[in-house]
Amino acid sequence: MQILDGTLVAAHIKEQLKTEVDALKSSTGKTPHLAAILVGNNPASEAYVGHKVKTCAELGFESTLLRFDTSISQRDLVNEVRKLNEDSSVDGILVQLPLPDHIEPDMIINTIDPAKDVDGFHPISQGKMMLGQPTFLPATPYGILLMLEHYNIDVAGKHCVVIGRSNIVGTPMTILLSRNGKPGNATVTLCHSRTRNLKDLTLQADVIVAAIGKPKFVTADMVREGAIVIDVGINRIDDPTKKSGSRLVGDVDFDNVAPLCSYITPVPKGVGPMTICGLMKNTLEAAKLPKPVYN
């Protein structure tokens, strides 16, 4: 069994990105600039956005963090996104999800200029991805592809079972794994809360991608010997043995599943750091795009 080490792969990719940023700066004077919007103070969102801003600094990107109280109206938030669209110094925009209940996430995402949609959530980005056209890929699936590439894991012809059908992970993952590309050409089954006989399907899987948001959901009896397991879950559970009283676990029961696997991602330090790499790569690409002039 080999651990797919997200921190290690991310370090390699970040070194490459630093070199590319230096080259961009010296050839064009341009510094990639990511603007992040955080509404409220959800601790997990705070941590994710904090990592993204910190990584920008590490790579020599500029970043702007705009924080708003949960009381912000949908209309005001739409206007804040529009201002970032029109700000030619901003290359990439991310709005950290989830948003408060009174704000329709689609309204906000649909407002982001697709040329700055470095999270790859806009319908134009998702549509282009589905059609195999060049676009910003959603950061987590993109990060998983980068991880597979790094370890030379070829999924062509393999049966991949994706658990969870979210717009930001599960659904795009099925499209990317099955596309005629590299990595790609897998046979994919998408499982969700209404799937019958989930275990029968996962036991047929060469690759399992768990993105369901339930701690230790994938257990050893669901995994066949030699499978590759990608764990996208980040769940905080109580743990009185820890000083903080809690710890992070994935969607996979790592301790019992890992001995069965050929490869497995841990949580933390698996997919998480790769998501940030996906975002940073998209932001660098966005910085290379010409900016429209708004009057």
The residues that are catalytic are 52, 96, 119
Binding of ligand GUN at residue 126 (CB under 6 A)? no
Q: Which is nearer to ligand GUN, 95 or 177 (CB)?
A: 95
End-to-end CA distance of the chain: 58
Q: Of these, 265, 275, 282, 283, which contacts ligand GUN (CB under 6 A)?
A: 275
Q: Of these, 55, 63, 85, 96, which contacts ligand GUN (CB under 6 A)?
A: 96
Stretch that binds ligand GUN, among 9-17, 92-100, 148-156, 209-217 (CB under 6 A): 92-100
Binding of ligand GUN at residue 235 (CB under 6 A)? no
Long-range contacts of 187-194 (CB under 8 A, 24+ apart): 187/157, 187/158, 187/159, 187/160, 188/159, 188/160, 188/161, 188/162, 189/159, 189/160, 189/161, 189/162, 190/162, 190/165, 191/161, 191/162, 191/163, 191/164, 192/163, 192/164, 192/165
Helix boundaries (H) for the chain:
6-28, 43-59, 74-86, 105-109, 123-131, 139-150, 170-178, 198-202, 254-257, 271-287
Draw the binding track, 152-191, toward ligand GUN (x: CB under 6 A; -: no contact): ----------------x-----------------------
Binding of ligand GUN at residue 139 (CB under 6 A)? yes
Binding of ligand GUN at residue 97 (CB under 6 A)? yes
- What's the CA gap between 169 and 224, in Å, rounded? 23
- What's the CA gap between 259 and 241, in Å, rounded? 24
- Name the minimum Å distance from CB 199 to ligand GUN: 27
Q: Of these, 17, 35, 39, 94, which contacts ligand GUN (CB under 6 A)?
A: 94
Record the tokens describing residue 285, joined without a space.
């690409």
Q: Of these, 17, 56, 95, 210, which contacts ligand GUN (CB under 6 A)?
A: 95
Q: Which is nearer to ligand GUN, 141 or 258 (CB)?
A: 141
Q: Which residues pair with 252 in a beta bridge?
A: 218
Stretch that binds ligand GUN, among 5-13, 16-24, 93-101, 239-247 (CB under 6 A): 93-101
- Name the minimum Å distance from CB 101 to ligand GUN: 15
295 DSSP 8-state letter:
-
Q: Which is nearer to ligand GUN, 129 or 222 (CB)?
A: 129
